[in-house]
Each structure stands twice: as structure tokens, then as C-alpha cells.
């Protein structure tokens, strides 16, 4: 039985929002269109749970799309914010917190000797590409289909995340000249990688070392090593976008796990602990090309904002070895339980997981690239998500986004999630009850 959600206040707000905000939301995936329903307006979060404006409570597996690795309203993060806010929220002048956060990141991320902070992952990617172009004197960038690096013009070609969710191949408004500088090849395709880097004039190869914006699609064994080798061979910089994986899958991100090191690392999400912060970092020699040390221009009114920095420091400080073990354990048990629930319902799914990340693909073939991800059963995933929401579990409302379990998720919440998932799988056999 699926309890119908009360959604009077969400519906009212959505109607008002649509008059003043395009599509009623400030970032497309929030509209929940790809799972065939209207958005849910959130009132507050408590640990691993969120409450909507109609009083419905959900176990949250979006957690702001990754930043909230300690869950919502974590007391130590809130205390750091209160203390910092009392002294003023922004100065446009350097503060001690920025130095401390830069030191903390450099200590955790191999290869990041120096970093520059921005307010969003999009800006960090944009600057990393500008820097790679300046350093190499070349223009072209190689990216992978289904990877998302933010909404900068040149990288929207065959991007994942919200763009995949809306089934848009690129975006109107992107100049042909910008798109022409981007070469897109399938993820995990060795032959395409060799062919497109042979004797090429690439400024950069940009990749998510653990792609999570087409759903989670890990690299095939040896693929990251090949990226490094081909970048070196053709004189391009390797840009690894760890906006999702950084500080999540391990203390030193996906690069710690694979041992394959970037020339420039792009960070975001967890680094801001739920406030707007992101960064790019790399070797001193390269990073010193940025203004004012060097000639490559980059700036930001709110870059290194004191509140975002305070939330980032508090968040990183709490991530010790025990935290990663707990997150790995929770995610592994969530994956195993979901697999069991799908199996019991006779449903073919591919469940892919890493520490703090998970995707349930409604597909009977393993997923190694974006093409395969798009062939999974999107209508069935949408229906399953609606059934989960009706049972108090809030999954990412798109097949092309990862689940983000947090350190706040408890054993009791795991069991409730799995019971809801089993009931949602079973409900797929029945006609849908319309709320
Ligand atoms: C979210 C994301 C970005 C963009 O970050 P924003 O802060 O949303 O601009 C870039 N790269 C990856 C891998 C992301 O997941």
C-alpha cells in the first residue's frame, strides 16, 4: 500500500515559483520532471532526513547533491557558521580561514600544492581549462560523453547530470566555436582515447575519475592509467574533476584510490560543507600562473567566503579514517540490500556503488558508458522513485544522478530504506495509485 503524499503547500509554492523563476526552480533537476512529478519544496533537514513544507518526512539520499557528507544541520558545522557569521559574512580581503582550508586540502590531496577557491564547481572547471590553455598554448579539450563539469559553454557537449536528465544533447546559446573546441568520446573506450590523442594538439583531457553524473559508472581497470599516459604522450594536461569524489570516496579522493594523479584537480561540493565553495589545485609552478602571481586572470567577489570556508573546515576536520569506514560500510550494505530487494521482486537492475555513492540502473546489462546508461528503463526508474517518495525515501529524481548516503544515515534508517525499496519494487507490478 502506498500512502499518498499531502502536497498542498508544495503545489501552491510551485505555482507561484513558475511565475517568477524559470520552470519554478533555480537548478533544473530539482523540478523532478524526469520522474514525472512536481517538485517538493523543503522546509528543513535533520541529520539524514528532510521535511517538506507539507510536513512529509523523507530519508534523504540527495543530501544537496553531495556537499552534506555529515547530513543536514550538523551541530559542529552550524556552530562554526554561527561563530563566523557573528564577525561578519564577507570582506573582499583575505582571512585566516582561507589559509587554513588551503593547507588542509593540500595535506589531503596528493598533487595539490596550491589552490584557488571559487564559489562553484563550474567556475573551478572554467578556470582549470583557461589555465591548461595558457600553460600549453593550445585550445582543444577532450571530454567524455556523460561527464558533467559544470555549465560552461565549451563543456556542455554531451554532458551528464541535468542535461542528460532533460535529454538535451547540448544547449542552445552555446556558440559553435565553443563546441568546436571540445572533442567528446565515450567513457571507458580505449580505442577512441588512443585515436583522439594520437598526435593531437590537446590543451587538456578532462574527466571525472569516478564519473557520477550519468549515474555512477566507474573506470574500467587500467583506464585512468591510460588517461595519464595519453595526456603525457600528447603534451596535454590531465584535469581530474573530483567535485563529487573529492573528500567523499576517500580522504584524498579518487586519486588516492587509483594512484593516478592529475595536473589540475577540480574540487567542490564537500569542500564547502553545504555552502557555496569550490576550488582548483595543482603543482605550485602551474598554479602560480594565476593572477596576481601570474598573468592568467581569475577572480571572484565571494571566493573564499568566510562562511563557506568555515563550513568546509568543520566538514573536513570531521572526516577521519573511521568516518570513511562507516560511510563505506553503510553504502555497501545499502547496495547489497537493494540488490536483494530487486532480486526478490524479480527485477533486473544494475547496482553500482563506491564509498558514499550509489546508482540503481534499471537495466539488464552492465553499464560502462553513457550510451548504455541512456538505454536503461527510464520510465521504470521514474515510477520506482515515485513509489519511494510515497514511502518516505527521497532518491535522486533522475536515473543519471548518484545517491549520496551520508555519515548521518543510521542502521534504523537503512532498514527503513530497504523495506521501502522492497515495497516499491513490488509495487512496479501493480497499476500506480494516483495521489
Ligand atoms: C556538481 C558538479 C560540478 C559543478 O559544480 P557546481 O558547483 O554545481 O557548479 C562540476 N563537476 C562535477 C563532477 C559535478 O558533480
Distance CA 135, CA 236 (A): 9
User: What does the pLDDT read at residue 169?
Assistant: 55
Pick the residue whose CA is nearest to atom 8 on ligand 1. Answer: 121
* Domain contains 434: no
User: What does the pLDDT read at residue 197?
Assistant: 95
Residue 246 in grid coordinates: 573529492
User: What does the pLDDT read at residue 2?
Assistant: 45
Distance of CA 412 to the CA centre of its chain: 26
| Mutate-to-test residue for ligand 1 from 63, 66, 121, 255, highest number of ligand atoms within 8 A of CB | 121
Who's near 86: CB < 8 A, 6+ residues apart? Answer: none
- Over residues 243-296, the pLDDT tens digits come to 999 999 999 999 999 999 999 999 999 999 999 999 999 999 999 999 999 999
**Same domain (yes/no): 223, 79:** yes
**Same domain (yes/no): 256, 350:** no
Boundary of a domain, candidates 267, 288, 317:
317
**Same domain (yes/no): 94, 242:** yes
**Same domain (yes/no): 390, 329:** yes
Question: Distance from the CA of 217 to the center of ligand 1, in angstroms?
Answer: 16
| Mutate-to-test residue for ligand 1 from 243, 247, 270, highest number of ligand atoms within 8 A of CB | 243
The per-residue pLDDT of the chain, averaged, comes to: 95
Is 87 among the catalytic positions? no
- Over residues 214-239, the pLDDT tens digits come to 999 999 999 999 999 999 999 999 99
Q: Hey, how many other C-beta atoms are within 10 angstroms of the C-beta on 406?
A: 23
Helix, strand or coil for residue 266? Answer: strand
Helix, strand or coil for residue 206? Answer: strand
Ligand 1 pocket, 213 CB below 6 A? yes
Distance CA 229, CA 236 (A): 10
Is 320 among the catalytic positions? no
Contact 315, 323 (CB under 8 A): no
Contact 266, 125 (CB under 8 A): yes
Q: Which atom of ligand 1 is nearest to the CA of 122?
A: 9
State the residue range of the domain holding 95. Answer: 75-317
Is 232 among the catalytic positions? no
Mean pLDDT of 332-337: 98
Q: Which atom of ligand 1 is nearest to the CA of 208?
A: 13
Distance CA 392, CA 419 (A): 11
| CA proximity to 424, closest of 336, 332, 345 | 345
- Over residues 53-91, the pLDDT tens digits come to 999 999 999 999 999 999 999 999 999 999 999 999 999
**297: region left, alpha or beta (phi > 0 left; psi from -120 to 50 alpha):** beta
User: What does the pLDDT read at residue 139?
Assistant: 95
Ligand 1 pocket, 401 CB below 6 A? no
Percentage of the chain lying above the pLDDT 90 cut: 91
pTM to 2 decimals?
Answer: 0.96
Residue 389 in grid coordinates: 517518495
pLDDT surpasses 60 at 168: no
**Same domain (yes/no): 145, 211:** yes
Query: What backbone phi and psi angles, to 5 degrees, belong to 266?
Result: -105, 130
* Domain contains 304: yes
- Over residues 351-385, the pLDDT tens digits come to 999 999 999 999 999 999 999 999 999 999 999 99
Ligand 1 pocket, 258 CB below 6 A? no
pLDDT surpasses 90 at 172: no
Residue 265 in grid coordinates: 584537480
Pick the residue whose CA is nearest to atom 14 on ligand 1. Answer: 243
- Over residues 77-133, the pLDDT tens digits come to 999 999 999 999 999 999 999 999 999 999 999 999 999 999 999 999 999 999 999
**Same domain (yes/no): 172, 259:** yes
Boundary of a domain, candidates 291, 317, 343:
317
pLDDT surpasses 50 at 304: yes
Distance CA 197, CA 231 (A): 8
User: What does the pLDDT read at residue 6?
Assistant: 87
More confident residue, 2 or 386: 386
Name the strands in the sheet holding 182-185, side by side, starting at the edge strand that comes first in the sequence: 114-118, 278-282, 264-267, 237-241, 202-207, 140-144, 182-185
Amino acid at each position: 500500500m502506498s500512502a499518498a503524499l499531502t502536497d498542498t503547500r508544495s503545489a501552491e509554492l510551485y505555482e507561484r515559483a513558475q511565475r517568477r523563476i524559470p520552470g519554478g526552480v533555480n537548478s533544473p533537476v530539482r523540478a523532478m520532471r524526469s520522474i514525472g512529478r512536481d517538485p517538493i519544496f523543503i522546509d528543513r533537514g535533520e541529520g539524514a532526513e528532510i521535511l517538506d513544507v507539507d510536513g512529509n518526512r523523507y530519508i534523504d539520499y540527495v543530501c544537496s547533491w553531495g556537499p552534506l557528507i555529515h547530513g543536514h544541520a550538523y551541530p559542529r558545522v552550524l556552530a562554526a557558521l554561527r561563530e563566523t557569521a557573528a564577525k561578519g559574512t564577507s570582506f573582499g580581503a583575505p582571512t585566516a580561514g582561507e589559509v587554513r582550508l588551503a593547507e588542509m586540502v593540500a595535506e589531503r590531496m596528493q598533487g595539490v600544492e596550491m589552490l584557488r577557491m571559487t564559489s562553484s564547481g563550474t567556475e573551478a572547471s572554467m578556470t582549470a581549462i583557461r589555465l591548461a590553455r595558457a600553460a600549453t598554448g593550445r585550445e582543444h579539450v577532450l571530454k567524455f560523453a556523460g561527464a558533467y563539469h559544470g555549465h560552461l559553454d565549451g563543456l556542455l557537449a554531451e554532458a551528464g547530470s541535468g542535461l542528460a536528465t532533460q535529454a538535451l544533447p547540448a544547449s542552445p546559446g552555446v556558440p559553435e566555436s565553443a563546441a568546436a573546441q571540445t572533442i567528446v568520446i565515450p567513457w571507458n573506450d580505449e580505442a577512441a582515447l588512443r585515436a583522439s590523442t594520437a598526435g593531437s594538439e590537446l590543451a587538456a583531457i578532462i574527466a571525472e575519475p569516478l564519473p557520477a553524473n550519468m549515474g555512477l559508472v566507474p573506470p574500467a581497470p587500467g583506464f585512468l592509467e591510460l588517461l595519464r599516459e595519453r595526456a603525457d604522450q600528447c603534451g596535454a594536461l590531465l584535469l581530474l574533476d573530483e567535485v563529487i569524489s573529492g573528500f567523499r570516496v576517500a580522504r584524498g579522493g579518487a586519486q588516492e584510490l587509483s594512484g593516478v594523479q592529475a595536473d589540475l584537480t577540480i574540487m567542490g561540493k564537500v569542500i564547502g560543507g553545504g555552502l557555496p565553495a569550490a576550488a582548483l589545485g595543482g603543482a605550485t609552478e602551474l598554479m602560480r600562473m594565476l593572477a596576481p602571481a601570474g598573468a592568467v586572470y581569475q577572480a571572484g567577489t565571494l571566493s573564499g567566503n568566510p562562511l563557506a570556508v568555515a563550513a568546509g573546515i568543520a566538514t573536513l576536520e570531521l572526516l577521519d579514517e573511521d568516518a570513511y569506514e562507516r560511510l563505506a560500510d553503510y553504502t555497501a550494505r545499502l547496495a547489497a540490500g537493494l540488490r536483494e530487494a530487486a532480486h526478490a521482486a524479480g527485477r533486473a537492475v544494475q547496482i553500482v556503488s563506491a564509498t558514499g555513492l550509489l546508482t540503481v540502473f534499471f537495466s539488464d546489462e552492465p553499464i560502462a558508458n553513457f550510451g548504455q546508461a541512456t538505454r536503461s528503463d527510464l520510465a521504470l526508474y521514474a515510477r520506482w522513485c515515485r513509489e519511494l517518495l510515497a514511502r518516505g525515501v527521497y532518491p535522486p529524481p533522475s536515473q543519471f544522478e548518484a545517491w549520496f548516503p551520508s555519515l548521518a544515515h543510521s542502521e534504523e534508517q537503512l532498514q527503513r530504506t530497504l523495506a521501502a525499496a522492497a515495497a516499491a519494487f513490488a509495487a512496479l507490478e501493480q497499476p500506480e495509485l494516483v495521489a
